[in-house]
Chain A
């Protein structure tokens, strides 16, 4: 067998394989990472911020290694729920992308931007339906760099910089005049960032290779804390024969984050929290692995068979110890491990067929298997102060197994899918996409759901001589409704007779009607191409969500608390406008801009009847109101007091080049979002105030109703309702290419130095530090879902390509 095929054969093969990738990129927002303004912060999502109309990347926390929230036409009933996150793919293979709640480390930091060729943002239904129940909130496909023709290339990149807080006012940040002395000590200007990466690549008749390593360290602004990760990666293709090739991708990352007590922990912690943190420990350690292997076989007649197996794994562990000097005489220790694994296997056949010179078809039929296995174990314990001994001794003696609480939790899910995609291309004018996908899920009794979609894209340039492209699409995706409830559940009630006998009974009965949430989507778009100078694109979408699973509380003579039902309808619609201007393009000077803006509206269209007796009862005041409404009580009446979603958001970027100097900056903005700040002074046990909320003169008359950990009803006053509108200079960079040197030194193809800044300036009327710091639009009393102050960072770097 000839292992090395003829060059011509390989070239054809290469072209054919890349053709289908090109097709799949068509008509979507594809961003070439090398030409984007990168971020000094870890997390691939940060470089997307402000670049794509409709993709909201919210920098909510300055804690290093935290993930910015991502939303791409996503909607959920729960504003804190990560189910609005888009599907993240690496070379088309799904990855575990949301941070685990154990370490909170962002899996999108596991890659260096230097590894990435391009990022494709998929919003249109005729592409999304191909992912069925996996992509109700859009998809982001991260295409990794591959080896480029040539025997060897080496690319090295490094930068170093500092984080600092501009004009930090300790009374204005989210902690709001709490433990100020400690925070002054903790928020330290000058936390270093450094990042280095090295890539080696090449390609030839044998295929291509790329391997490398990178290191990223960010000390943030909280003294003693910090995030770091190192990764090794490989992306290789090997042409086994003319027709048969293999593709290997592997990225392994070790990530760590160290926490700090003062400044990071919530207001409910015991005071004083000033003290030596010599023996304090909060060590978060993650192992992230993304690995795939694909085989491609080229048959005759334009048929290609492809089979790709992917593994995405994250092992997260956290060890926490709080010594007694911080907890007023108590010590606390916990250890938790969360292992998540995602296995996918996708096999497909692709047929490229030309019916005639003008009519072409690209058809793919395939199947996909997906398996999730998540396991969490944790122990924690608290012990009161012991006389004698140092804090260190207490570390040893304080961890008493008899006083620990143990937890173990598992989740296993399987999904089996069959799909077919048909793309018909008539001349260069008309594209027709037809998608049908069937998903079978282990979560339901009736396992299968069908997701069809149809889309048409028409370029009027040839037929009508108008520089306009139009598109329209209709179809369906879904959201997996968790947890699995179709088989009912038994519950342990308690111990009896000396603890030797366990009493059990039904928690809820079986519910065979469980199914996915249906999301029907309609898209329409118009693009005007004014020569090579200006592109204006307007897109409209409308998504309707129906059949959420919720609990229906049973009359208390039933003997069970609830059973499950499905119902409810939500709608999200929006208009996204993008202007791409390529104003000047000459040998010495060029200037291009991008402006994008998205207007979204969500609405609760209908809710289940007798809503008060369901687990959705908190939505009682929401019918025909935005899903993102902030609802609170005034006296005995529930009122909508704001909306945590902005009326519009987007970005503005400009890229300028003069000879060998280039500069780029990007603004992001949002307006019309409200922020309700909970009062630290008016918080009451409802019973103790006889269920009558006392209004404070300097605060709003509104209050939320919470439950305390021991089940007591709490009335939480709202201090202010503020406007969260802002404009932010999110990123800017200036770089200088040393063209002269690279011309003189033959081996050197590029040498560049750059200065780059993140979060440089924010204009906002919000009284806190960062108008995006509250995930739910509510600055909560306990600071849950509220981030630490977002620092500015400036770095100086160098990039060398051999």
Chain B
């Protein structure tokens, strides 16, 4: 509206000048008359315009109402605490993506049949009937929640970049950026592992179809940058290092593990080995922290209130005995056995572990093995597998993979990675009898896409799920 008034004013000014120029050609007397007329006209006009500007701008102001029951983005992020809320928004969305319908289990151990989840639709997941008509399965095959996390992360990056200079300390700026990048990297990585080929949600190539390698490579870029920015330990609101806080937010340990996983996923063993050995040194041993998602209330969707409540995750005794043979010390440490079932012990039900500390040794073992450091790999595996009855010192290049896969299955149970491991180790048809190798080649290991995920993107179901 201001612009409109300025234009009007300029038009009137032009008009005034023109009138005076024409008048000069006229006789003197008339000229005087005209100039006098215009002076008074101009002063009336000026005061009129000024009055109109004042009136209408005050109208505009009085017609702008601050609604008390809603919050608008404009002007909201004016403090570090509020910017942190946007960062937390990313974690809450990640939690929704992984916990609604026990998704992290359904994409992982519940699908491979390792763990049973005490909900009816898990039977369909374990039987690989993923396209059955079921509202829970429809939500599980929808990738929207992961893209919500990516949107949150991109928003945080924008907010941090645009924040006024004195709002964020360097620590806060780096941490928030690092967390956003890590969340984004993790989301893309989940997307690639669950659906294979996925869409980019970045501004520069929004909607582009990315192959499973391209997605993970993009995720690696974000994780690498995040690793540079994130501290080992996070500070709480009082500025004190907090182990509890660090355990539920991204930190350097967690993002390095994530980066190593991603690097191994694209088959770059040497790269993963370099990342791990350069980052985790004897100096950093005291600063390591696992990463999980803190349980809390989601205000938009039905997440089970206590996803890790006792007896939700269990194994039939036969499966349990097959995975953890008699004599394995971890049988009683990790499970409560009663009747025909073994229930997973959850040491801390207030968070869902995604990147456990034990995994670092297993990642070292895998990276060393895949980069031709077999002896070192064996050392890491033996070191990680305390309580196992197998003798891992005799492993060869050929047998190492199976042993590592088994140890990952045993130790990382409950983190939702089993199915992804089978894909990465190319063992899907071995452990999931429902699928032949031909099925896997068609894309059986990945999830089908829900109708709403297929819509409007030019996507079609992969060959197996068509």
A residues with CB within 8 A of B = 408-414, 416, 440-442, 447, 484, 487-499, 501-506, 510, 555-560, 613, 687, 690-691, 710-713
Contacts and interface: CB of A to CB of B under 8 A. Distances in A.
Nearest to B245: A497
B155 A505 contact: yes
A294 to B, nearest CB: 23
A613 B456 CA distance: 9
Nearest to B293: A496
Interface stretch (B66-74, B316-324, B393-401): B66-74
Interface stretch (B32-40, B139-147, B265-273, B381-389): B139-147
B101 to A, nearest CB: 12
B457 interface: yes
8 contacts: A410-B68, A447-B60, A494-B300, A502-B85, A502-B88, A559-B147, A687-B135, A691-B133
B248 A496 contact: yes
B147 A490 contact: no
B134 A557 contact: no
A413 B154 CA distance: 33
A491 B86 CA distance: 10
A411 B248 contact: no
A498 B95 CA distance: 14
A410 B69 CA distance: 6
A449 to B, nearest CB: 12
A556 B148 CA distance: 8
Contacts of B85: 501-504
Nearest to B452: A556
Contacts of A691: 133
B353 interface: no
B122 to A, nearest CB: 16
Interface in B407-423: none
Given A442-B64, A496-B296, 12 more contacts: A411-B69, A488-B72, A490-B76, A494-B297, A494-B300, A496-B88, A496-B91, A497-B245, A503-B90, A503-B93, A505-B89, A556-B143
A440 B59 contact: yes
Contacts of B27: none
Contact of A410 (B67, B74, B300, B455): B67
A743 B464 CA distance: 99
B67 A556 contact: no
Contacts of B117: none
B201 interface: yes
Given A496-B296, A555-B456, A556-B147, A442 B72 contact: no
Contacts of B93: 493, 503, 505
B29 to A, nearest CB: 36
Given A410-B67, A557-B457, A687-B134, A493 B144 contact: no
Contacts of A489: 70-73
Contact of B350 (A414, A498, A502, A712): A498
A492 B299 contact: yes
Q: Which residue of A408, A493, A497 has the most chain B CB atoms within 10 A of its CB atom?
A: A493
A503 B65 contact: no
A690 B133 contact: yes
Contacts of B151: 505-506, 558-560
A491 B92 CA distance: 12
Given A409-B69, A410-B69, A411-B67, A499 B297 contact: yes
A488 B73 CA distance: 7
Q: Which 7 pairs of residues, A with B, have the shortest CB-CB distance?
A: A559-B151, A556-B144, A503-B92, A503-B88, A495-B296, A505-B89, A503-B89
Contacts of A557: 143-144, 147, 199, 201, 206-207, 457
A689 to B, nearest CB: 11
Interface in B270-307: 294, 296-300, 302
B3 interface: no
B147 A408 contact: no
Given A410-B67, A412-B67, A489-B71, A495 B297 contact: yes
A146 B299 CA distance: 55
A497 B152 contact: no
A442 B63 contact: yes
A490 B62 contact: no
A623 B203 CA distance: 36
Contact of A416 (B59, B86, B152): B59
